[in-house]
Amino acid sequence: MRERRSEPQLSSPIADPADPAGQQDQKAVPGAVDPSSVTPDEQVLEPETDPQAGPEEEELPPYDAVLVLSFGGPEAPEEVLPFLRRVTAGRDIPDERLEEVGEHYYLFGGRSPINEQTRALRKALHDELRRRGIATPVLIGNRNSDPFLVDALREAHDQGFRKVLVVTTSAYSSYSSCRQYRENLAEALDELREEGRELEVAKVRQYATHPSFARTNIRLVTEGVRQIGQDDDAKLRVVFVTHSIPVAMDDTSGPGDGEGNLYWHQHDELAHVILDEVGITLDRSIEGALVYCSRSGPPSQPWLEPDVNDHLRQLREQGITDVVVAPIGFVSDHMEVKYDLDTEAAQTAEEIGLNMLRVPTVGVDPEFVSGLVDLLQERAAEERGEQVVLQAWPGEAMPSICAPGCCPNLRTALPAACGRD
């Protein structure tokens, strides 16, 4: 087992002798995608017939469609409870907890921003693929809301697609953030097979260790530190936040034959390089810590700690006046960010007189989107048997085909796609 530091404190700068950050060539991508320009219609599956497309138009062989697989969320008050029941089906999450979480959604009119953000990501991937001359369609499938994964794959099959390349909206390695999506895929494929629809799916590797994810987060945090306007390093902290998971889930995260704690380790490594790079760019020495939000489950079950609110109070007691909160565990500003950070943590900060600035998630940042398209192309090249160099920083590239027993389901062994088990 990896030795998970119980003290969340990180300090900068920690020299990285092999800093590859500046060495990898960066592709310039013009123009960010405006999420408001995405109409619901655009997610409809349309065969792409671009009148301008020449015969040299490339695709992504052997894949004939890309699917963005996301968590999903409610978009109206009456969708909130059915959504929460779906999320927690078969788990011992008490009703009070569901009502409590329901309130977070009702505070925002029963609408989570997540589906809109998934549509914006779909459009951004679509546009970046087109910029590279790749005409492969991009679809959306969700775990917990419409368009559901199985329906999206059924529609894909009906359109004639047989090999689908999946990218999830989840960067890290753990049961909740990786294997559970693979189980969703296996279940959907089984259901379709029973209907006589045969499909193959593959998934791009978890991208917490892809350089584009690190570089985008480094730039966003650097900007946050610049903006907050506290030039005394001793009064400022960076607070890196991710979704808490049960300690038992973290202990078993990563390849079955590995050391475990990969979920924590990937966040810890990324938080360190972000602090190092911010320190180098701004010529400062800023400290930070990795903390958690959105804990659920019974109090008797240990989850990763400390909670972001407890940590903010502790910082204030230590004389810290300003915090830059960086939600590196999430890829879009969905409900966990809007409620747990922008509402709850912001309120805690205000109560205790701490100035807090929340950094945006990677969202549809062109550098991040470009990295995801690199990963789609990398996975396709790998499948064609071509030699591929897996870019990784910080840490190691995760395999695109997971090892047996990787990030196990601790409750029931279920079939999972895109792995060797």
Ligand X SMILES: CC1=C(CCC(=O)O)c2cc3nc(cc4[nH]c(cc5[nH]c(cc1n2)c(C)c5CCC(=O)O)c(CCC(=O)O)c4C)C(CCC(=O)O)=C3C
User: 292 near 242, Cβ under 8 Å?
Assistant: yes
The residue within the footprint of ligand X, chosen from 38, 60, 87, 324 (CB under 6 A), is 87
Please indicate if the annotation marks 181 as binding a ligand.
Answer: yes
93 binds ligand X (CB under 6 A): yes
> Which residues in the 311-340 window bind ligand X by CB under 6 A?
334-336
Give the count of residues interacting with ligand X (CB under 6 A).
24
Our CB check for ligand X shows the closer of 236 and 304 to be 304
Please indicate if the annotation marks 334 as binding a ligand.
Answer: no
Our CB check for ligand X shows the closer of 134 and 167 to be 167
Report residue 391 as tokens: 């870019």
Please indicate if the annotation marks 191 as binding a ligand.
Answer: no
Crossing angle of helices 211-228 and 366-383, in 10° steps, is: 170
Q: Closest Cα partner for 335 from 344, 326, 325, 323?
A: 344
DSSP string, 254-314: S-TTS-S-HHHHHHHHHHHHHHHHHHHHHT---EEEEEEE---S-TTS-BS--BHHHHHHH
The residue within the footprint of ligand X, chosen from 2, 4, 97, 235 (CB under 6 A), is 97
412 binds ligand X (CB under 6 A): no
Please indicate if the annotation marks 243 as binding a ligand.
Answer: yes
Our CB check for ligand X shows the closer of 205 and 243 to be 243
User: 101 near 25, Cβ under 8 Å?
Assistant: no
* Residue carrying the six token digits 């301008």: 52
Site stretch for ligand X (CB under 6 A), options 7-15, 93-101, 186-194, 220-228: 93-101
User: 12 near 278, Cβ under 8 Å?
Assistant: yes
284 binds ligand X (CB under 6 A): no
Site string for ligand X, 153-182 (x = CB under 6 A): ----------------xx---x-xx-----
Site string for ligand X, 187-226 (x = CB under 6 A): ----------------------------------------
**For residues 179 and 253, what is the distance between their CA atoms, to the nearest angstrom?**
10
The residue within the footprint of ligand X, chosen from 112, 136, 206, 230 (CB under 6 A), is 112
Question: How crowded is the C-beta side of 280, counted as CA atoms within 13 Å?
Answer: 15
Site stretch for ligand X (CB under 6 A), options 128-136, 196-204, 278-286, 289-297: 289-297
Amino acid, single-letter form, for residue 49: T
User: 152 near 139, Cβ under 8 Å?
Assistant: yes
**For residues 285 and 262, what is the distance between their CA atoms, to the nearest angstrom?**
27
Closest residue to ligand X, based on beta-carbon distance: 296
**For residues 180 and 169, what is the distance between their CA atoms, to the nearest angstrom?**
13
290 binds ligand X (CB under 6 A): no
Tell the smallest beta-carbon distance from residue 178 to ligand X (Å): 9
Q: Closest Cα partner for 113 from 343, 387, 414, 285?
A: 343
88 binds ligand X (CB under 6 A): yes
84 binds ligand X (CB under 6 A): yes
Going by the annotation, the residues of the binding site for Fe-coproporphyrin III are 112, 181
Q: Which residues bind ligand X (CB under 6 A)?
A: 71, 73, 84, 87-88, 91, 93, 97, 101, 112, 114, 169-170, 174, 176-177, 243, 245, 294, 296-297, 334-336
Going by the annotation, the residues of the binding site for Fe(2+) are 243, 336
